[in-house]
Amino acid sequence: MEIWSAGLTFVLGLVGWIVRSHTAEVQRLSILLNKTREEVARDYVTKTEVHADINRVLDRLERLDEKLDRLMEVKK
């Protein structure tokens, strides 16, 4: 009976150690994933930001085009 108890204790201890190590690994990976998400959000722009910037550039080009048209009309 003592051998059974010792063997069962050893097996349950081993299972507990494995579960604990896997839990720690999952927690570590979760932290790394969160850091990666933060870095991606910091380094890259969203579609909305890109569209806003492109629209600003296009507006400036339109105004420049209008000024060039007016300049060409004056020189005629």
Work out how many domains the chain is built from and give that number: 2
Question: Tokens in use for 7?
Answer: 């063997």
Question: Tokens in use for 32?
Answer: 């790394």
Question: Residue 12 pLDDT > 90, yes or no?
Answer: yes
- Domain extent, residue 30, equals 1-44
Say if residue 20 is in the same domain as residue 8: yes
Question: Residue 64 pLDDT > 90, yes or no?
Answer: yes
pLDDT of the residue at 41: 76
Running DSSP on this structure, what letter comes out for residue 1? -
pLDDT of the residue at 38: 85
Cα three-residue angle 5-11-12, rounded to 5 degrees: 85
Say if residue 50 is in the same domain as residue 40: no
Say if residue 25 is in the same domain as residue 10: yes
Say if residue 26 is in the same domain as residue 9: yes
Q: Which pTM was predicted?
A: 0.47
In tens, the pLDDT along 23-63 reads 999 999 999 999 988 888 777 888 899 999 999 999 999 99
> Based on the number of CB atoms within 10 Å of its own CB, is 72 exposed (0-12), middle (13-18) or buried (19 or more)?
exposed
Question: Tokens in use for 1?
Answer: 């009976």
Say if residue 2 is in the same domain as residue 38: yes
pLDDT of the residue at 74: 86
